[in-house]
Structure 1
């Protein structure tokens, strides 16, 4: 039986719109490969509208990266509070994000580190909330999770820093506090180690099927703190000294 991309996309979009969670994707609509998972992501992107950003990450310094296209309805700039009703689960992560000031069309590549960073206009502290359209977080197969925007809930950006060129994300200090208790306080912490490698991959490969990175899009580059699951009401604060801080109350 051929894989039904449209049925997978429709099920995930319906779960997103109604809040009714899925036990699994329908038979015949469960991706069996990275390519099929990305095809579902892309079909969802065509339903939800213009891509406003991306999340990208990798489980190790030499591991292949993975991406998810994000949309304006889940990207918030300096949002102070969000309602708990937006979430099924709340997985708090401190991240580093980059906003691009010009297009990086795939046909003009390949791009090296310098070319990709030259297109960045601001660097941001960020909080990503991991969430799921499935009934139980992490219970379905990895390809289904990838199809579901790689467990994306919302992205909250702190103020953008224009004079960011002296900051090294590999040695960036990061603190994450939940309800006033510091859970993480260390240097670096991204499983990919070097977030810029992820940006280069996204520009050259990951974003290709959706037209590449576009001016105005923001790219968040994976958790520096792992994922801490919390319950509402809660207040999450991510501090990245030299880059800035961002706080989010969920209630």
Structure 2
């Protein structure tokens, strides 16, 4: 009899290969966040995904979490191909590139300054959230969402920005339009206040459930606009005003 992790792994692997969606009622739910992370890691191994980067976060109970971003990363102007029927959400983010490894070292927490010293570049990043789980929004148990890498679909690595931007978000705005129609225009706000908080939490995690933080990886620090639902497909323009703009096509 397959375990919950094995059942979830097999379903997500098949859905990603087929570019199809899973009705969540057909899946067992991992009992814990650790089991959800284990299922995510098993999916990555089964698909042979590269550990090119991570989206980091903090669960409601304070547990550090992460989702694999395997790349290859899209460039501004590229086309993102969504699965038929999938819900696509757009997130404007700040991303960092690791210039050296950040070894797992329980009992010896990293400081914010140490982590920043391990990064050589910052970018405007645009994440497309596209879960393999059908009708997921507000309806999926978090360990199952974690098993699906928190719905990571793709990532556009935009222009390089000053790394000091992470120290102060004041005066920044997030703008998104679809086919010339504005769908979001609000000040940039991070859910944890400081965009470095989830990265710091993951670097200081108690268990090494997924994989290492290594030189060359991209770490995205969380959305500055929440997850903005795209009401359709077409030409998308995103701006982190006044710093940078990224255009892409959803298809």
- Aligned partners of 2:5, 2:157: CA distance in 1, in Å? 31
Change (3 A) 1:213 1:65: same
Which residue pairs with 1:239 in the alignment? 239
Aligned-pair distance for 1:181? 3.5
Matches within 5 A, 1:112-191: 112-138=111-137, 139-161=139-161, 163-165=162-164, 167-171=166-170, 173-179=172-178, 180-191=180-191
Q: Residue 45 of structure 1 corresponds to which residue in structure 2?
A: 44
Q: CA RMSD of the aligned region, Å?
A: 2.7
Cα-to-partner distance string for 1:122-173 (whole Å, 9 max, x where unaligned): 1111111111112212233222111111121111110223x42365254361
After TM superposition, give the deviation of residue 243 of structure 1 in Å: 4.1
> Match of 1:107?
105
Note if contact 1:124-1:244 (Cα within 8 Å) is conserved in structure 2: no
Deviation at 1:193, TM superposition (A): 1.4
C-alpha displacement of 1:93: 1.5
- 1:98 maps to which of 86, 96, 99: 96
Contact 2:173–2:185 (8 Å) recurs in 1? yes
- TM-score (ref. length: structure 2): 0.85
Specify the SS of the correspondent of 1:107. coil
Per the alignment, residue 5 of structure 1 pairs with: 5
CA distance in 2, matches of 1:249, 1:206: 39
After superposition, the Cα gap between the structure-2 partners of 1:167 and 1:131, relative to the gap in structure 1 and judged at 3 Å, is closer
Partner-residue secondary structure (3-state), 1:205: coil
Structure 2 gaps of 5+ residues are none
1:56, CA displacement in angstroms?
1.6
Q: Does 1:198 align with 2:231?
A: no
Quote the Cα distance in structure 1 between the aligned partners of 2:17 and 2:140. 20
> Would the alpha carbon gap of residues 12 and 206 (structure 1) be closer, same or farther in structure 2, given more than 3 Å must change?
farther
* Offset, 1:226: 1.7
CA contact under 8 A between 1:98 and 1:123: conserved in structure 2? yes
1:188 CA drift (Å): 3.2
TM-score by length of 1: 0.85
Secondary structure of 1:192's aligned partner: coil
What is the aligned length? 247
> What residue number does 1:225 align with?
225
What is the CA–CA distance in structure 1 between the aligned matches of 2:99 and 2:31, rounded to whole Å? 36
Aligned position for 2:87:
89
State whether residues 37 and 210 of structure 2, in contact with CA within 8 Å, keep that contact through their aligned partners in structure 1: no
- The answer to whether the 8 A contact 1:235-1:249 is kept is yes
Q: Deviations over 1:26-77 (max 9, x none)?
A: 56x42011111111111112223321111123478x954432112124x323
- Taking a change above 3 Å as real, the CA distance of residues 83 and 22 of structure 1, as seen in their structure-2 partners, is closer
